[in-house]
Chains A and B, each alone.
Chain A
Amino acid sequence: MPSEADALVSTAPAGEDAQTEFARLVEAHWRSAFRFAYRLTGNADDAEDLVQQAAEEALRAFSRFQPGTRFDRWWLRILYNSFLDRTRRERRRSYFPLEDIPSPLPAGREADPETALEAHLDGPVQKALDALPPDFRAAVVLVDLEGLSYQEAAQVLRCPVGTVRSRLHRARLALREWLREYVDAVNRGALG
């Protein structure tokens, strides 16, 4: 998120200024919050809902935000916790245990992988992401899609760096199996 890097560090929030400051920070970071939420939930409506909830919770907790630290990480952490709460409450989806990786991808086969790569990659990749357990998906989204370092992802996910590393690795191995055809196509040079 380098384009947002200049607006990242906040000044001290206090009193009436805190709300103005909060508004400024939300305006600076809502895009990355939405991206994270979208990839966690898999659709725009739920993502918006989640961002909204996270904004409300962040405002309530804003007095505990430490000035000089990264607001975006702090907000994403709140967003992630809200997301985990939801998945625990709803349990709408069933997740595949990573030890028991199904193959091929249960979401259904797309057309010829070579041509599908150009136009329809989003579908299969998002389906594969959705099939990951939430904490594994979050690691992949933060590191592989958002470009965070392992350390930064560990801050958001509130876990040790080693946990990020192992979740990321196991998630990628699962994605490799689920997206086997596409992986092979990439290895043959399909994506350049």
Chain B
Amino acid sequence: MRHPQDLLSAYVDGVLSDREAADVAAHLAECQACRETVADLRAVRKLLRTVRTPEPPADLPARLLESVGRTRRAVPAGRWAVAAAALLASLLLAKLPWIPAPSDAVVRDLREHAKASTAHPMGDVGLGSLLSGLLGERGTDEP
């Protein structure tokens, strides 16, 4: 076997196949130069493993998440209410069969409200009363 130069690092790392590893070991038994290279490669690996990485700043994850536009705690509960109200409003406007078709006046009000709640996402009291009114109407339809 000629000098298995390009296999020596993999040999040191123990990632050669059994066959390759046996061939390299047989060569090393007869080759002083390659034995020295293997010893040096082990030494290099050892040196590399001594380096320490400084402790990263503890607030790094917070700053990372802030910089990508959010933190987990930053979603205000109000936004969920707005999203739910908007969904309900769109369902009503779509006249889904399981909800009785609202009167034209109600549709108009809802449209107005949808615009308003987009502009003022924090206040959604109006929609709440509108919806309860609507559900009340529906209740009176049933015997």
Contact = CB atoms under 8 A, between A and B. Distances in A.
A172 B49 contact: no
Interface in B52-105: 52-54, 56-57, 60-61, 63-65, 67-72, 75
Interface stretch (B3-11, B21-29, B107-115, B127-135): B3-11
B54 A183 contact: no
A87 interface: no
B50 A191 contact: yes
B116 interface: no
Contacts of B69: 59
B52 to A, nearest CB: 6
Interface stretch (A26-34, A65-73, A91-99): A26-34
Given A169-B9, A183-B44, A30 B64 contact: yes
B60 A38 contact: no
Nearest to A118: B50
B60 A144 contact: no
Contact of A48 (B8, B50, B57): B57
Nearest to A39: B53
B72 A52 contact: no
Contacts of B50: 121-122, 125, 191
A186 interface: yes
B56 A23 contact: no
B111 to A, nearest CB: 26
B46 interface: yes
A179 B44 contact: yes
Contact of B49 (A16, A39, A144): A144
A183 B52 contact: no
A183 B63 CA distance: 40
A150 interface: yes
B138 interface: no
A110 interface: no
Contact of B47 (A52, A168, A179): A179
Given A20-B72, A172-B41, A38 B6 contact: no
Given A34-B53, A39-B53, A121-B51, A191 B46 contact: yes
19 contacts: A20-B72, A23-B71, A26-B64, A44-B54, A44-B57, A47-B56, A51-B60, A59-B68, A125-B48, A140-B48, A144-B45, A145-B48, A145-B51, A176-B40, A176-B43, A183-B40, A186-B46, A187-B40, A191-B47
Given A27-B61, A38-B53, A169-B8, 9 more contacts: A23-B71, A34-B56, A44-B56, A59-B68, A59-B69, A122-B52, A144-B48, A144-B49, A169-B6
